[in-house]
Amino acid sequence: MSKQRSRLVVLAGPTAVGKGTVAAAVRQDHPDVWISVSATTRPPRPGEENGVHYWFVSDAEFDKMIAEDNLLEWAVVHHSARYGTPRQPVELALASGRPAMLEIDLQGARQVRRTMPDALFVFLKPPSWEELVRRLVGRGTESAEERERRLVTAREELAAESEFDVTIVNHEVHAAAGELVALLKHSPTDL
Ligand code: 5GP
């Protein structure tokens, strides 16, 4: 019996809403779910590993991935580094029938919407704007200028909720991860 191709789930949402944390909870609690590892030109943060959190690549390597059409989507995020989804691993995961997910920014989600309209687009939303600001400041990994820039982006991104198929409110990380996994494990014909 041939395996049924799985349906891609694309998780997006405003900066600092906790997409990365929710994706990490899915990775930890549900190892059967395949999560794409993006390529990025930003340098690794302490504790980040090449091939686990991201593929950390040079500008020249990223240019080559674009030129060879190896990226499903890519974007410049926060006006700084480039981030993109390697195409082939996604294709392999979907063909194997594994629940498969991308955690990307809004610009990337819009590109995937054009090329893979059958994917399920999930918007992760903060409980409130105040909570989003608190999380952005609390993370403490960015400079004041960078935080300000990210808040401007976050306001625009929050307005995009209606473009998505489903919204999950990130009150608590494991609860949000559980809702996401329930969507990932629906068979394509159920949705
Ligand atoms: P960070 O630098 O904090 O890890 O991620 C910054 C932003 O880049 C997050 O909003 C994350 O969703 C986004 N991002 C990560 N990987 C990709 C990707 O492959 N494509 C796009 N378009 N955005 C990504």
Indicate which CATH number applies to the domain containing 128.
3.40.50.300
> Would you place residue 89 in the very low, low, confident or very high pLDDT band (cuts 50, 70, 90)?
very high
Pocket flag, ligand 1, residue 153 (CB < 6 Å): no
How many domains does the chain contain in total?
1
Q: Per residue in 129-188, pLDDT tens?
A: 999 988 887 767 778 888 888 888 888 889 999 999 999 999 999 999 999 999 999 755
Residue 23 belongs to what domain range?
8-186
> Which of 15, 37, 38 to probe ligand 1 with, by most ligand atoms within 8 A of CB?
38
From first CA to last CA, the distance across the chain in angstroms is 23
Is residue 65 a part of any domain in this protein? yes
**Nearest CA, atom 6, ligand 1:** 77
Average pLDDT (59-69) is: 98
Rounded CA-CA distance 39/48 in Å is 13
State what percent of residues in the chain have pLDDT above 90: 75
Residue type at 26 in one-letter notation: V
Q: What integer pLDDT is reported at residue 190 of this predicted model?
A: 53
Are the C-beta atoms of residues 85 and 73 closer than 8 Å to each other? yes
Average pLDDT (101-125) is: 96
Is residue 106 a part of any domain in this protein? yes
CA of 14 to the centre of ligand 1 (A): 11
Q: Whole-model pTM?
A: 0.91
**Nearest CA, atom 2, ligand 1:** 42
Is residue 75 a part of any domain in this protein? yes
CA of 2 to the centre of ligand 1 (A): 34
Pocket flag, ligand 1, residue 104 (CB < 6 Å): yes
Is residue 1 a part of any domain in this protein? no
Is residue 57 a part of any domain in this protein? yes
CA of 75 to the centre of ligand 1 (A): 8
Is residue 191 a part of any domain in this protein? no
State what percent of residues in the chain have pLDDT above 70: 96
| pLDDT at 189 exceeding the cut of 50 | no
Average pLDDT (10-28) is: 93
- Report the interhelical angle of 19-29 vs 173-184 (nearest 10°): 70
Q: What integer pLDDT is reported at residue 174 of this predicted model?
A: 95
> Would you place residue 38 in the very low, low, confident or very high pLDDT band (cuts 50, 70, 90)?
very high
Torsion of CA 70, 18, 123, 184, to 10 degrees: 70
- Per-residue DSSP letters for 123-181? EEE-S-HHHHHHHHHHH--S-HHHHHHHHHHHHHHHTTGGGSSEEEE-SSHHHHHHHHH
What DSSP element (H or E) covers 87?
Answer: helix 87-96
- Tokens 């935080």 sit on residue: 147
Residue type at 114 in one-letter notation: R
